[in-house]
Structure 1
Amino acid sequence: MKKETGINFFEKYLTVWVILCMIGGTLIGKYIPQIPTALGKLEYANISMPIAVLIWLIIYPMMLKIDFKSIVGATKNVKGLTITTSMNWLIKPFTMYAIAVLFLKGVFGGLIPTELADEYITGAVLLGAAPCTAMVFVWSKLTKGDTAYTLVQVAVNDLILLVAFVPIVGFLLGVSNVTVPYATLFLSVVLFVVTPLVAAWVTRKSVVAHKGLDYLENTFIKKFDKSTMTGLLLTLIIIFSFQGDKLLTNPMDIALIAVPLTIQTFLIFIIAYLWAKKWGMPHEIASPGAMIGASNFFELAVAVAIALFGINSGVTLATVVGLLVEVPVMLILVKISNSTRKYFKAKEATV
């Protein structure tokens, strides 16, 4: 049974480990603040270097599995790229704004002061305009996605992000002074995509040249089997040790902010996933493509919120709640994706 599903004991109960790490990180931040204080000093351009190393540990093993010749072929799948780019830039930011306004100023209008609701909406928009860069590789792995194609989708979205993030956020929020810490953006792409990609390419060439492809695929890569999930859990502990105090001091607002963010995540995934099925995409492409839109580049959203509005603002709190919501909800979507794999065409199908 275990071999058929490809899910080991650790991955089967990943949701439990994630929740425990989130709680553990929050408690560390509250009762042992010296730890996040020390780690916080290891930061450049609003990016924590310890977190960058752990995310690199998450992504590098998945990059190792890429046959780099397949990247060229992946770029030819225009339908898949059309879906993910359309969802991320023509639909997602606008549904996020609409859902946030509906709930934070409408449904929950009597529970949140107007000015604070505006700040929360701003944070939601920052999340909605920043599709995932790093964590999507984890979701791709858990749904047995095509890693090469996932890489292409991420790369295309990162290029669009460079030019589309500012005007979309400015348009939705009605402000013209939106500034993006481009150092954060470029450094994130270099650390989370370029560096592990180049390292994996060099490693593959070296290992294959000295010990052959069979050794690489059946022995060398398996040495990193647990590093991805270990990196994910350690990353959560560190992040929540930084932000846990905000979560503990604003429980009601966190619950209210989480509602539209959760609805948005499910909505975007469902639209992209069904669109991919309608167009005959194989599951290996449809699943990570939908995951990219559903998840967010929270590192960028938090950095922009802090840079523009301050670390104690409602905007920053909303982006942090985005992280709180994302991992558990994405794990639910992973389970939905895996359970509906049988309804998609085989990978060999014409797309």
Structure 2
Amino acid sequence: MSDTVHDTSSPGGEAAVLRRLSTLDRFLPVWIGVAMLVGLLLGRGVDGLDDAFAAVTVGSVSLPIAIGLLVMMYPVLAKVRYDELGHVSADRRLLGTSILLNWVLGPALMFALAWLMLPDLPEYRTGLIIVGLARCIAMVLIWNDLACGDREAAATLVAVNAVFQILAFAVLGYFYLQVLPGWLGLDQAALDVSMWEIAKSVLIFLGIPLLAGWLTRTVGERARGREWYESTFVPRIGPAALYGLLFTIVLLFALQGDTITSQPLDVARIALPLLAYFLLMWGGAMLLTRALGFDYERATAVSFTAAGNNFELAIAVAIGVFGVASGQALAGVVGPLIEVPVLVGLVYVSLWARRFFTGTEPTGSLTSRA
């Protein structure tokens, strides 16, 4: 790969990309901060919110949160050019790198960080290990799109993660909570979760929006053509992804607002290994893909896929196995508290780092980019 450095002040640089973002995209960190604050205030100020949200569930997740997640994912998956996925899936180096990062290095790193930073807090430690095992199949598509990564590559890697999640989550949970601690002379924990429960979560939160996105593109292109679909229809549905994201964040923080604000020191202890994990996984993935000669778009897709986690699954498993008031569940909830602002920040770092990669110049935004 060439060492060409792109001029960030030029029309093709990341500064120009940021200027072309919609108001919704450009101030996303502000909107997310407001959503977190609203959620925390809502959780502290409204009694019985937990019971109301738990009255109707979808795959162990409350119906309002499930709706938010589906609304968040649909527009991104409706933008994917499904006829180009074959080229991505044929790239064995891309798939191999992602599998290595997601299913070998990621869980091992979280295990190490949890034990190094939380040796005296077994419940939180177990919760973090569960978070490390739940690889991202949702929000990573948002971060990748904001960073102008390869949308088809991200969709393919998310699909690979979904398959591995169904097949490997329970096995890796047994290994990292019982087998490996036993080998190392550490305390052991148990994780009793069925493959069907994991598959159900994946099918609901990835399968439904994936099918809807594919049908939308297929029917839309056949009826009006690709140019109309990508220049007219996609910009219309684009904002729904961020609205769904903000709605989901409000609900998540509302559900745990009292716990988060009443246990700030515990939240801080949990946050430290999570912060280290996200930074190390994303930074390490970007360096690795750069060294392997990936272009910026695919490096970005691999890096955000490696850094993100499926907090919906992690929270559902923690609640189902250990209870809603458990330390394991709190660790799962703190996951998005740290992941969302950190990965939003890394979107901007990623756009800056684009100068160190060669390849096509990405432009646009989550709400308008086709």
Q: Mark the runs of 5 or more structure 2 residues left unpaired by the alignment.
A: 1-10, 179-187, 362-370
Matched, 1:97 2:120: no
2:181 alignment partner in structure 1: none
* Aligned with residue 42 of structure 2, among 28, 37, 57: 28
Output the TM-score relative to the length of structure 1: 0.91
Structure 1 residues 305 and 70: CA distance shift in structure 2, 3 A: same
For residues 65-84 of structure 1, the aligned pairs below 5 Å read 65-84=79-98
1:298 alignment partner in structure 2: 311
Cα contact 1:181–1:304 (8 A) shared by 2: no
Cα contact 1:101–1:121 (8 A) shared by 2: yes
Query: CA shift at 1:201, angstroms?
Result: 2.0
Cα contact 1:181–1:307 (8 A) shared by 2: no
Query: CA shift at 1:36, angstroms?
Result: 4.7
Query: CA shift at 1:181, angstroms?
Result: 4.8
SS of equivalent residue, structure 2 residue 118: helix
Query: CA shift at 1:216, angstroms?
Result: 0.9
Output the TM-score relative to the length of structure 2: 0.86
Structure 1 residues 224 and 36: CA distance shift in structure 2, 3 A: farther
Matched, 1:121 2:154: no
1:173 alignment partner in structure 2: 177
Matched, 1:244 2:257: yes
1:138 alignment partner in structure 2: 142
Aligned AA (1:235): T
Distance 2:288 2:339 in 1: 22
Distance 1:223 1:33 in 2: 37
Cα contact 1:184–1:300 (8 A) shared by 2: no
For residues 96-245 of structure 1, the aligned pairs below 5 Å read 96-105=110-119, 114=120, 117-174=121-178, 175=188, 177-245=190-258
Distance 1:172 1:213 in 2: 47
Deviations 1:184-236 (A, max 9, x none): 42233223222222222222222222222221111111111311111110110
Distance 1:196 1:314 in 2: 31
SS of equivalent residue, structure 1 residue 340: helix
Distance 2:110 2:190 in 1: 21
Q: Mark the runs of 5 or more structure 1 residues left unpaired by the alignment.
A: 106-113
Identity of aligned residues (%): 33
Distance 2:125 2:195 in 1: 22
Cα contact 2:166–2:202 (8 A) shared by 1: no
Aligned AA (1:50): P
Structure 1 residues 139 and 329: CA distance shift in structure 2, 3 A: same
Distance 1:300 1:54 in 2: 15
For residues 59-70 of structure 1, the aligned pairs below 5 Å read 59-70=73-84
* Aligned with residue 259 of structure 1, among 249, 258, 272: 272
Structure 1 residues 95 and 205: CA distance shift in structure 2, 3 A: closer
